[in-house]
Amino acid sequence: MSKIPRLRKRLDAGPPAADGAGRPGDPPVRTPAEIDSPDAAPPARRTRYDATELLASLPHRPGVYRMFDGAGGALYVGKARDLRKRVASYFQKSGHEPRIAAMLAQVARVETTVTRSEGEALLLENNLIKSLEPRYNVLFRDDKSYPYLCVTGEEFPQIRFHRGPLERVHRYFGPFPGAHAVRDGLATLQKVFLLRTCEPSVFANRSRPCMLHQIRRCTAPCVGLVSAGEYAEDVRDAVLFLQGKSDEAGARLKREMDEASSALAFERAARLRDKIARLAQLQSRQFVESATAGDLDVVAATEERGLAAVNVVMIRGGRHVGDRTFFPRQAPAAAREELVDAFLAQHYLDRPVPPLIVAPNAGDHEALARARTEQAGRPVDIVANPGGERRVWLEMAEQNATLAIRQRLAQKATQEERLAALVEALGLPAGVQRIECFDVSHTMGEAAVASCVIFDRLAMQSGEYRRFNVTPPQGGDDYAAMREALRRRCARIVAGEYPPPDLLLVDGGRGQVGVAVEVLAEQALHGVPIAGIAKGPERKAGLEEIVLPGHAAALRLPADHPGLHLLQQIRDEAHRFAIQGHRARRGKARTTSSLQAIAGVGAAKRKALLTHFGGVKGVAAASIEDLARVPGIGRSLAERIYAELH
């Protein structure tokens, strides 16, 4: 039988039935609606990325590779000592772990970049990880800069807390894991070496010693009670102490004490004796001592109940100055080796690297050490198999990481309990996760700032906080400020910039709640629950009243109610964030001249105006003709100044 009649017979039969039924063996037919549906089943097969041509073109050189899905989203960024071998290991081998297999099933495009060295590849890899945020890379996000202890380069150096860029004229010690460790160091140096901590402006204008001299925390170089040579010796001893050479400093002090005693300078000998005693006392009481002087970091990774953490114990000058724990993103199935490698690659990218890093779980520690050496410009060693004292530091880091995981898990359980109690108490729908809270702060209408803080995924999401510089409330009208902030936020929610909250919380009573109801109705956000938390009698914690729309009486929860504790936490955070913004705005307004905002009025013309009229008020009261008489101020600029000030 000819094939043509059979083909014509099938065409004349028309399309298959709507239910997708066809002849036995035919694949089921899906309608366009089913294909576009998000719940539609995926195709039975997906074409695997063919890397044959790519692999044939790759060189045996170091570089970086990037994998993308069909929509252009970044899946993974990696570095390689040999690009061809590394990329081929993904596509020419089988038996990958589930995480890698899932990633390879989505690959639609691979891009590569050749670099001059493996260290350069490491730097490029981490820059791309930061910018692309690939779905399958382990990400460590820590935007906080580490603090330092700074000894300034002046004739009488100041010792102070420092955070930010480092200047060559000063000496820096650290970094330290937190501000508390730096302040402890400052207190130690004040007690032992009596160095000044006052700012240069204060130091230059003292006429008599301050209280720190009276309590024996400073030698008062500001009024000449100590010579520059003696003060320099104190600074040198303090530097030795910070470098972990406290024994050397102690020996020098003892030698000077003996010399002073032999010269019958008994008062100086007594001061040196007291300094030696304080140094020994503080060494034994305040620091965990190390037999190995120097700077090193000890990195340990651990995992418990699906949560991974990396802890860094920081040794500075042979002393344990603290630790910090990091919780990586996208690492539920990552091995410890991958966690530590990602941390060593990303953490030190923008930070000083110590000469020694103890990291037993590092997989490619030799390559990482070479890259960190190139970055630091000096040898950096990564020890993968520590022993002796370093093993003790490592055990401490592992214990710290485990403790941090357990604390986070306990906090998560507590927040789950609080959220569940709040949902039940307020009669909220199940599934409430995202709570937005608003507060307004101002001083008699000046520098009004509204805050919006977010509670989501059982934690405060500080990266999503927002502030609004609102119109100053006239006569203390907080409602107008709250209305403006809510309108601006809701407009962005409606525009799709932010997801709508599951609960909108305002700091205030029935008036603020009424404003929130009006604004949400204007923006057609009718399904968002609203609540207000108002301070109770005498503004005591635990006596807050919860105001709900449509309820005549306010709800008061017991002081120990978990749901109330959650509301207090969110409200206090909104209050703190609003006050912080208000104080910053108020301080800027009080230290900035209104003339600075006028285009064309620089420092010289501003000085001429203020000198001519005696201040900003005089400038504001002047006419255009008076302004134009000031040297350097033409008619057009005078008109502009007058318009801006009025």
Average pLDDT over residues 441-463: 89
Q: Answer yes or no: are the C-beta atoms of 198 and 158 closer than 8 Å.
A: yes
Does the pLDDT at position 594 exceed 80? no
pLDDT tens for each residue of 323-338: 888 888 766 556 777 8
Given its phi and psi angles, is residue 165 left (phi above 0), alpha (psi -120 to 50 degrees) or beta?
Answer: beta
User: What is the model's pLDDT at position 3?
Assistant: 41
User: What is the model's pLDDT at position 306?
Assistant: 75
Looking at residue 205, its amino acid is N
Average pLDDT over residues 290-311: 79
Q: Answer yes or no: are the C-beta atoms of 337 and 299 closer than 8 Å.
A: no
Q: Answer yes or no: are the C-beta atoms of 75 and 67 closer than 8 Å.
A: yes
The encoded tokens of residue 604 equal 């010289």
User: What is the model's pLDDT at position 8?
Assistant: 40
Q: Answer yes or no: are the C-beta atoms of 403 and 423 closer than 8 Å.
A: no
Q: Answer yes or no: are the C-beta atoms of 276 and 268 closer than 8 Å.
A: no
Lowest mean pLDDT among 184-188, 413-417, 497-501: 184-188
Phi then psi for 329, rounded to 5 degrees? -95, 150
Angle between helices 179-193 and 228-242 (to 10 degrees): 140
pLDDT tens for each residue of 188-204: 778 778 888 888 888 88
Q: Answer yes or no: are the C-beta atoms of 481 and 448 closer than 8 Å.
A: yes
Residue 217 has a CB neighbour count (10 Å cut-off) of 17
Above pLDDT 70, what percent of the chain? Answer: 87
pLDDT tens for each residue of 208-236: 888 888 888 888 999 889 888 889 888 88
Confidence of residue 153 (pLDDT cuts 50, 70, 90): confident
Lowest mean pLDDT among 46-50, 143-147, 331-335, 363-367: 331-335
For residue 621, how many C-alpha atoms fall within 13 Å in the half-sphere facing its CB?
Answer: 8
d(C-alpha 619, C-alpha 635), whole Å: 15
Q: 379 burial class (0-12, 13-18, 19+ CB within 10 angstroms)?
A: exposed
User: What is the model's pLDDT at position 460?
Assistant: 92
Average pLDDT over the chain, rounded to whole? 81
Confidence of residue 488 (pLDDT cuts 50, 70, 90): very high
Lowest mean pLDDT among 64-73, 265-274, 615-624: 265-274
Confidence of residue 589 (pLDDT cuts 50, 70, 90): low
Does the pLDDT at position 5 exceed 50? no
Confidence of residue 304 (pLDDT cuts 50, 70, 90): confident
Kindly provide the b/e burial profile for residues 265-277, where b requires at least 16 CB atoms within 10 angstroms of the residue's own CB: eeeebebbbebbe
Does the pLDDT at position 21 exceed 60? no
Answer with the residue of higher pLDDT: 69 or 26: 69
User: What is the model's pLDDT at position 190?
Assistant: 81
Does the pLDDT at position 11 exceed 60? no
Q: Answer yes or no: are the C-beta atoms of 378 and 354 closer than 8 Å.
A: no
Confidence of residue 143 (pLDDT cuts 50, 70, 90): low
Q: Answer yes or no: are the C-beta atoms of 460 and 447 closer than 8 Å.
A: no
pLDDT tens for each residue of 35-94: 344 344 444 445 678 888 888 888 899 899 999 998 888 999 988 889 999 999 988 887
d(C-alpha 106, C-alpha 476), whole Å: 57
Does the pLDDT at position 521 exceed 50? yes
Average pLDDT over residues 489-499: 93
d(C-alpha 190, C-alpha 329), whole Å: 41
Q: How many distinct helices (H) and strands (E) make up the chain?
A: 22, 19
Reduced to 3 states (helix: H, G, I; strand: E, B; else coil), residue 325 is strand
Confidence of residue 373 (pLDDT cuts 50, 70, 90): confident
First and final CA of the chain: distance in angstroms? 97
Does the pLDDT at position 418 exceed 70? yes
User: What is the model's pLDDT at position 435?
Assistant: 96
Confidence of residue 33 (pLDDT cuts 50, 70, 90): very low
The encoded tokens of residue 397 equal 């880091």
d(C-alpha 302, C-alpha 361), whole Å: 10
User: What is the model's pLDDT at position 47?
Assistant: 62
Lowest mean pLDDT among 35-49, 104-118, 398-412, 516-530: 35-49
Lowest mean pLDDT among 50-64, 127-141, 197-211, 519-533: 127-141
User: What is the model's pLDDT at position 563?
Assistant: 94
